[in-house]
Structure 1
Amino acid sequence: MSASVVQLTESKKHIQHTHRVFENQKKAFYDNPTPSLAERQENLNRLKQALLTYQDRLVEAIDRDFTCRSRDESLIAEVMPSIQGINYALKNLAGWMKPSRRHVSILFQPASNKVCYQPKGVVGVIVPWNYPLYLAVGPLVASLSAGNRTMIKMSEFTPHTSALFKELIEATFPEDLVSVINGEADVAADFSARPFDHMLFTGSTAVGKLVMRAASENLTPVTLELGGKSPAIVSADVPMEDAAQRIAFGKAFNAGQTCVAPDYVLCPADRTQAFVDEFRARFSEMYPSLRDNDDYTAIINERQYNRLQGYLEDARAKGAELVEINPANENMADGTHKIPLTLVLKTTPDMKLMQEEIFGPILPVVSYGKLEEAIQFINDRPRPLALYFFGYDRDQQNQVIDNTLSGGMCINDSLMHVAQDDLPFGGVGDSGMGHYHGKEGFLTFSHQRAIFAKQKFNSGKYVYPPYGTSFHKMVYKFFIR
């Protein structure tokens, strides 16, 4: 039997399994449409204990999928924020669930207004390959907090992690509460076409459009966590060591395979060489070697490796200056999937790396004159998922905040806004729509049901027909002005 036939057979099994689980979760939701606070807390605690139990195996599985993924990066970026997100939800869930009292105009008194937060039903989550644990657990925490059933489609590019996470979930939850779906791209396409009550997708803008198109057939609301070209602005007077060190950390973490990694740097023209020198020094301190250094993560697979090499070749052919930072001068081109962090100078708009999200250890440096020019450069392009400004002048900070738009922003740091439990995370425009994390995650996966209530006395009868009475005229006089 050929490999293609085997894959087709396996895909059919995964799709049939997806359909069956979806129907079972729908039925389970109708049987218990409003789980209590205690039930939701129990589910979150069970997930937390499972993650603590499996954490070493999960870190090892992620390492195998990347061929080299720093254990500390997996703990810092996957395990720790997953646990902290659960802890934050457990601490605040009772308050989130309380109905919100709202004002009632004198026109409608006596009555009451409130907003109740009810589960939507069955939630679908599509997980990317770059942070396969955290980007599965984060949406799951929000969905469970809101009282939903959840189906999670893991990435086919992280087979070891996906299989282990499926094992973890099956050992922790009944299938009609949480279920993991694995399989290839055709399984993901079918998954996105299910009539979920809400769907969250994390991945590229191109695939996000396909997911949204499939969801539209069912009028399924979607949260799209996409990417884009997140800029980092270096101001004219920030200490260069401070900016270079923090940008180097954000770009080198997971070898740049992060949706909010700094995608390019906007640097004053007269400070470009200083940035290059400081960046090289700070990166070399963190990574004195690359090839056999477990701290420096590899590119996930051959396809992504070749894509990144293609960006470098295209830039070189179009006149760019490439500054490869390889502190130990190691040979990286004989089978390893590691790419030295490479600064790219003298870029032009027609270069692929200035048009596409890089998603790897390549960092273009674009020169500017005045801060207004850097702001205009950003505003002339699709709205990014993150924006970073490095400078201690408060007026300049506010100038960038007030005159740009991005999903999120850090001032004098990179990546760290994603780890703030009490901040919403999401994109805008081409970088996505909707938010989650913390309370915003609870709200995203809850139906905010408006309830107006009155009892026996009905003041509204005084404006019933026939119209034109003196009472109608008095109401219009006082309330239409």
Structure 2
Amino acid sequence: MKMNGDEVARLQTPDEAALCACLEAMKAAQTRDGLPDAALRTDRLTRLMVLLRERADDFCAALDADFGGRPRETSLMSDVMATFNTVKYARGRIRRWMKPDRRDGVVPFNLFGARVEVQRMPKGVVGILGPWNVPLFTTLAPLAFALAAGNRAMLKPSEFVPRTSALLQAAVQDLFAADEVAVFTGDAAVAGAFSALPFDHLVFTGSTTTGIRVMRAAAENLVPVTLELGGKSPVVVGRSADVRLAAERILSAKVMNSGQVCVSPDTVHVADELVEPFIAACEAVHRRLFPPVAGDAALTSVIDARHFARIRGYLDEVRSAGGRIVDCGGGLAGSGRKLPLHLVVDPPAGARIAQEEIFGPVLQVERYADIAAVIDRINAGPRPLALYYFGADRAEERRVLAHTLSGGVAINDVMLQVAAHDAPFGGVGASGMGVYHGREGFNEFCHPRTVYRSGWWDPRKALGLLPPYSKKLYGRLSKTLKV
């Protein structure tokens, strides 16, 4: 039968039909069961903690296989434990967060018993699109706050970590009802169909380019979004900085997951006279963390051949242009897709590495003479997800923070701002919108509903505020317009 586009909706694939059916079932269950109490929310988060505890070793093995080499300690710390602690934090605060907020009443009605409060209502069904780089944390941390807020959720983990995604799907099916939490696996086409569903809220973590597509799809159904993106997170090493300390903390963070972290340092701005000491300190730190005699077992692989070729391409382009590249491996030759950290010093402005988020085991180092030029350089680009400052000069620190804007900041350290459970995590502009973590994460997945309770007497008639109006009312009202 020939179909007219004005008469017939597009056909659904089996994957799309399953997604739609799940969403409808969850929305129906949310309406049927009403507002979930604190006990049910606590139970759901407890089950999520059990899932992580019981499957910890399995997840570490799956992540190692998906990456083609990822130390189990890295997976246990960054994916399993980080997520477990986030869930535990949220579970312990559910009752406190659920309490309505008492607000100022409406004058003069509040004088006669009228009251106003704000209730935090679950939005309904939250969709979560997870990335591949830290797949458990970036998928299950937002889930923790969505469940704490009383929602149900559908998850679509990345197809680039198929074993981890399949394991997560099986584990969720074992511990959650199909209309509580559901996991869908599949390729980019499934992710596209997922992002087009009429969720009550949608979370996406990934690249800015994909974030734009996700937001565009969500806009078709007016779905509110939380986008956790990324960008070229800069580090400013001031002249007052302890260079060895800065190198140790920057490098220790950069090698985590081989730089495949959204808040990983991307570009380090170093004062002219500190550049060579900084480079030497980076080499020393890398040799200590990854002794060449120990081999590359402690390195994490770049996720796949395409990304490995991209990273290699950055280095080849700079090398062919005569740029300076420092191999911090000190003789450590990575196997497969493992690559020791490389420093690219003062790359040409037109080089791709200077324009794109690196997201791999390469660190861009740029020298500067005046801190004002660094601030201008940061502000000339998209607003980053993270900003880092090293130094003991409090005036310079205030200057950098007051004249830049980023999703988060760490002073004399790197990436630990994300580990603060009781503080929001999110980007701004090209690095994202919305937050999770902390009370703000709970609020992200709630609708703040204002509830007005009438008092024991209505003064409107006595005050002449109802028709027919007196001739004096306008003048009386006008006199209240005081600045």
Whether 1:283 aligns to 2:286 is yes
Whether 1:218 aligns to 2:207 is no
Going from structure 1 to structure 2, the CA distance change for 1:331 and 1:286 (only over 3 Å counts) comes to closer
Shift of residue 457, structure 1, vs aligned partner: 1.8
Q: 2: CA distance between counterparts of 1:428 and 1:292?
A: 40
Give 1:32's aligned residue.
33
Q: 2: CA distance between counterparts of 1:52 and 1:331?
A: 35
Structure 2: unaligned runs, 5 residues or longer: 1-11
Q: 2: CA distance between counterparts of 1:112 and 1:358?
A: 53
Shift of residue 356, structure 1, vs aligned partner: 0.6
| SS of residue matched to 1:460 | coil
Give 1:405's aligned residue.
405
Query: Match of 2:286, as an amino acid?
Result: F
Shift of residue 330, structure 1, vs aligned partner: 3.9
- Percent identical: 41
Q: 1: CA distance between counterparts of 2:202 and 2:433?
A: 12
Residues paired across the two proteins, number: 468
| SS of residue matched to 1:174 | coil
Whether 1:453 aligns to 2:453 is yes
Shift of residue 46, structure 1, vs aligned partner: 1.1
Q: 1: CA distance between counterparts of 2:216 and 2:321?
A: 36
Give 1:274's aligned residue.
277
Q: 2: CA distance between counterparts of 1:469 and 1:391?
A: 68
Give 2:154's aligned residue.
151
Give 2:116's aligned residue.
113
Going from structure 1 to structure 2, the CA distance change for 1:290 and 1:411 (only over 3 Å counts) comes to farther
Alignment of 1:280-359 (within 5 A): 280-289=283-292, 292-327=295-330, 329-332=331-334, 336-359=336-359
Give 1:102's aligned residue.
103
| SS of residue matched to 2:80 | helix
Give 1:4's aligned residue.
none
Give 1:127's aligned residue.
130
Whether 1:233 aligns to 2:248 is no
Whether 1:21 aligns to 2:22 is yes
Q: Deviations over 1:386-435 (max 9, x none)?
A: 00001122222211111110000100111111111011000001000011
TM-score normalised over the length of structure 1: 0.94
Give 2:7's aligned residue.
none
Whether 1:177 aligns to 2:208 is no
Going from structure 1 to structure 2, the CA distance change for 1:178 and 1:107 (only over 3 Å counts) comes to same
TM-score normalised over the length of structure 2: 0.94
Shift of residue 468, structure 1, vs aligned partner: 4.8
Query: Match of 2:134, as an amino acid?
Result: Y
Going from structure 1 to structure 2, the CA distance change for 1:291 and 1:20 (only over 3 Å counts) comes to farther
Give 2:164's aligned residue.
161
Contact 2:282–2:328 (CA under 8 A) maintained in structure 1:
no
Query: Match of 1:216, as an amino acid?
Result: A
Going from structure 1 to structure 2, the CA distance change for 1:480 and 1:84 (only over 3 Å counts) comes to same
Going from structure 1 to structure 2, the CA distance change for 1:473 and 1:321 (only over 3 Å counts) comes to same
Q: 2: CA distance between counterparts of 1:290 and 1:320?
A: 29
| SS of residue matched to 1:223 | strand
Query: Match of 1:22, as an amino acid?
Result: L
Q: Deviations over 1:448-469 (max 9, x none)?
A: 1112221342223432233353
Query: Match of 1:411, as an amino acid?
Result: I
| SS of residue matched to 1:382 | coil
Shift of residue 13, structure 1, vs aligned partner: 3.5
Contact 1:269–1:369 (CA under 8 A) maintained in structure 2:
yes
Give 2:426's aligned residue.
426
Q: 2: CA distance between counterparts of 1:277 and 1:91?
A: 45
* Greater shift in the superposed pair: 469-478 or 412-421: 469-478
Q: 2: CA distance between counterparts of 1:14 and 1:319?
A: 50
| SS of residue matched to 2:126 | strand
Going from structure 1 to structure 2, the CA distance change for 1:141 and 1:290 (only over 3 Å counts) comes to farther
Going from structure 1 to structure 2, the CA distance change for 1:330 and 1:280 (only over 3 Å counts) comes to closer
Contact 2:327–2:342 (CA under 8 A) maintained in structure 1:
yes
Give 2:469's aligned residue.
467
Contact 2:314–2:352 (CA under 8 A) maintained in structure 1:
yes
Whether 1:476 aligns to 2:471 is no
Structure 1: unaligned runs, 5 residues or longer: 1-10
Q: Deviations over 1:71-122 (max 9, x none)?
A: 1111221111211112211221111000000112434433211110001011
| SS of residue matched to 1:265 | strand
* Greater shift in the superposed pair: 471-480 or 212-221: 471-480
| SS of residue matched to 1:383 | coil
Q: 2: CA distance between counterparts of 1:459 and 1:65?
A: 69
Shift of residue 140, structure 1, vs aligned partner: 0.7
* Greater shift in the superposed pair: 355-364 or 335-344: 335-344
Q: Deviations over 1:137-167 (max 9, x none)?
A: 1011011000001000010000010000001
